[in-house]
Amino acid sequence: MSLWTPGGEHEVPRESNQPSREASLAGPPPSALTGDPDFDDLTPEEQAQAQAMMAEMAEVQQRIAGSPASDVLANHLMGFYELAAIHLSQQPPNFREAAVAIDALRLVIEGMAGRLGENEPTLHQALQQIQMAFVQLTDRAQGGPEPADPTDD
Protein backbone atom coordinates (compact mmCIF):
# COMPACT_ATOMS: atom_id res chain seq x y z
CA MET A 1 0.00 0.00 0.00
CA SER A 2 1.21 3.51 -0.68
CA LEU A 3 0.35 6.94 0.60
CA TRP A 4 0.41 10.08 -1.51
CA THR A 5 1.82 13.19 0.11
CA PRO A 6 2.89 16.52 -1.35
CA GLY A 7 6.42 15.15 -1.05
CA GLY A 8 5.59 12.20 -3.30
CA GLU A 9 4.36 8.62 -3.08
CA HIS A 10 5.54 6.62 -0.07
CA GLU A 11 5.20 2.92 0.60
CA VAL A 12 3.40 2.13 3.85
CA PRO A 13 4.30 -1.26 5.31
CA ARG A 14 1.42 -3.35 6.62
CA GLU A 15 1.94 -4.56 10.19
CA SER A 16 0.81 -7.98 11.28
CA ASN A 17 -0.63 -6.87 14.63
CA GLN A 18 -3.85 -4.87 14.37
CA PRO A 19 -3.88 -1.46 16.11
CA SER A 20 -6.79 -0.42 18.29
CA ARG A 21 -9.76 1.26 16.60
CA GLU A 22 -8.81 4.61 18.15
CA ALA A 23 -5.19 4.28 17.04
CA SER A 24 -6.22 3.35 13.51
CA LEU A 25 -8.56 6.34 13.30
CA ALA A 26 -5.94 8.74 14.59
CA GLY A 27 -3.24 7.08 12.52
CA PRO A 28 0.46 7.28 13.07
CA PRO A 29 2.19 10.63 12.98
CA PRO A 30 3.10 11.78 9.45
CA SER A 31 6.80 11.26 10.11
CA ALA A 32 6.14 7.58 10.84
CA LEU A 33 4.39 7.15 7.49
CA THR A 34 6.92 8.93 5.34
CA GLY A 35 10.11 8.16 7.20
CA ASP A 36 10.76 11.91 7.28
CA PRO A 37 12.42 13.35 10.37
CA ASP A 38 10.45 15.40 12.88
CA PHE A 39 10.84 19.18 12.71
CA ASP A 40 13.06 19.11 15.81
CA ASP A 41 15.40 16.66 14.08
CA LEU A 42 16.15 19.16 11.30
CA THR A 43 19.16 21.42 11.26
CA PRO A 44 18.49 25.14 11.84
CA GLU A 45 18.96 25.70 8.08
CA GLU A 46 16.48 22.94 7.25
CA GLN A 47 14.03 24.33 9.82
CA ALA A 48 14.27 27.77 8.19
CA GLN A 49 13.64 26.21 4.76
CA ALA A 50 10.66 24.28 6.11
CA GLN A 51 9.22 27.41 7.71
CA ALA A 52 9.68 29.34 4.46
CA MET A 53 7.91 26.58 2.54
CA MET A 54 5.05 26.57 5.05
CA ALA A 55 4.71 30.34 4.75
CA GLU A 56 4.67 30.06 0.96
CA MET A 57 2.00 27.34 1.12
CA ALA A 58 -0.09 29.51 3.46
CA GLU A 59 0.21 32.41 0.99
CA VAL A 60 -0.91 30.19 -1.89
CA GLN A 61 -3.87 28.99 0.18
CA GLN A 62 -4.83 32.61 0.87
CA ARG A 63 -4.69 33.45 -2.83
CA ILE A 64 -6.84 30.45 -3.67
CA ALA A 65 -9.31 31.34 -0.91
CA GLY A 66 -9.53 34.85 -2.37
CA SER A 67 -10.27 33.56 -5.87
CA PRO A 68 -13.77 32.73 -7.09
CA ALA A 69 -14.34 28.98 -6.95
CA SER A 70 -15.52 29.10 -10.57
CA ASP A 71 -12.07 30.32 -11.64
CA VAL A 72 -10.30 27.55 -9.73
CA LEU A 73 -12.70 24.97 -11.18
CA ALA A 74 -12.17 26.30 -14.71
CA ASN A 75 -8.44 25.83 -14.23
CA HIS A 76 -8.93 22.23 -13.16
CA LEU A 77 -11.41 21.55 -15.95
CA MET A 78 -8.91 22.76 -18.53
CA GLY A 79 -6.60 20.15 -17.01
CA PHE A 80 -9.22 17.53 -17.99
CA TYR A 81 -9.18 18.98 -21.52
CA GLU A 82 -5.37 18.80 -21.64
CA LEU A 83 -5.39 15.24 -20.30
CA ALA A 84 -7.79 14.18 -23.07
CA ALA A 85 -5.64 15.94 -25.67
CA ILE A 86 -2.51 14.17 -24.43
CA HIS A 87 -4.19 10.78 -24.75
CA LEU A 88 -5.51 11.64 -28.21
CA SER A 89 -2.05 12.73 -29.36
CA GLN A 90 -0.45 9.37 -28.56
CA GLN A 91 0.49 7.07 -31.44
CA PRO A 92 -1.89 5.29 -31.57
CA PRO A 93 -4.40 7.47 -29.72
CA ASN A 94 -5.52 6.11 -26.36
CA PHE A 95 -9.27 6.51 -26.89
CA ARG A 96 -10.30 4.81 -23.66
CA GLU A 97 -8.33 7.17 -21.43
CA ALA A 98 -9.26 10.22 -23.52
CA ALA A 99 -12.94 9.29 -23.16
CA VAL A 100 -12.60 9.21 -19.37
CA ALA A 101 -11.19 12.75 -19.32
CA ILE A 102 -13.76 14.02 -21.86
CA ASP A 103 -16.64 12.47 -19.92
CA ALA A 104 -15.40 14.00 -16.68
CA LEU A 105 -15.14 17.41 -18.36
CA ARG A 106 -18.63 17.08 -19.85
CA LEU A 107 -20.23 15.88 -16.61
CA VAL A 108 -18.83 18.72 -14.53
CA ILE A 109 -19.73 21.37 -17.10
CA GLU A 110 -23.26 20.01 -17.44
CA GLY A 111 -23.67 19.53 -13.70
CA MET A 112 -22.45 23.04 -12.94
CA ALA A 113 -24.39 24.76 -15.74
CA GLY A 114 -24.92 28.42 -14.91
CA ARG A 115 -22.47 28.36 -12.01
CA LEU A 116 -19.10 28.48 -13.79
CA GLY A 117 -19.05 32.23 -14.21
CA GLU A 118 -17.41 34.04 -17.08
CA ASN A 119 -15.39 30.91 -17.94
CA GLU A 120 -18.44 28.85 -18.87
CA PRO A 121 -18.53 29.73 -22.60
CA THR A 122 -14.82 28.96 -22.94
CA LEU A 123 -15.29 25.64 -21.17
CA HIS A 124 -18.17 24.73 -23.51
CA GLN A 125 -15.99 25.56 -26.53
CA ALA A 126 -13.13 23.48 -25.15
CA LEU A 127 -15.50 20.54 -24.60
CA GLN A 128 -16.85 20.81 -28.16
CA GLN A 129 -13.34 20.97 -29.62
CA ILE A 130 -12.04 17.94 -27.75
CA GLN A 131 -15.19 15.95 -28.55
CA MET A 132 -14.80 16.82 -32.24
CA ALA A 133 -11.13 15.80 -32.20
CA PHE A 134 -12.10 12.51 -30.53
CA VAL A 135 -14.72 11.76 -33.21
CA GLN A 136 -12.37 12.67 -36.07
CA LEU A 137 -9.54 10.55 -34.71
CA THR A 138 -11.88 7.65 -34.00
CA ASP A 139 -13.22 7.79 -37.57
CA ARG A 140 -9.69 7.88 -38.96
CA ALA A 141 -8.63 4.93 -36.78
CA GLN A 142 -11.63 2.91 -37.95
CA GLY A 143 -10.75 3.50 -41.59
CA GLY A 144 -13.26 6.22 -42.28
CA PRO A 145 -13.26 8.06 -45.59
CA GLU A 146 -9.94 9.67 -46.40
CA PRO A 147 -9.86 13.10 -48.01
CA ALA A 148 -9.69 12.92 -51.78
CA ASP A 149 -6.21 13.14 -53.30
CA PRO A 150 -6.27 15.86 -56.00
CA THR A 151 -3.50 14.07 -57.97
CA ASP A 152 -5.73 11.00 -58.64
CA ASP A 153 -7.39 12.50 -61.75
> How far apart (Å, rounded) are the C-alpha atoms in residues 134 and 99?
8
SS (H, E, C) 87-127: HHCCCCCCHHHHHHHHHHHHHHHHHCCCCCHHHHHHHHHHH
Instruction: For residue 126, give the nearest of 138, 115, 116 by alpha carbon.
Output: 116
100 closest CA partner among 126, 125, 120, 80: 80
Q: What is the pLDDT along the chain (153 residues), one digit of tens a residue?
A: 666 666 666 676 665 555 554 555 565 655 555 666 788 888 889 889 989 999 999 999 998 899 999 999 999 999 999 999 999 999 999 999 999 999 999 999 999 999 999 999 999 999 999 999 999 999 999 986 655 555 554
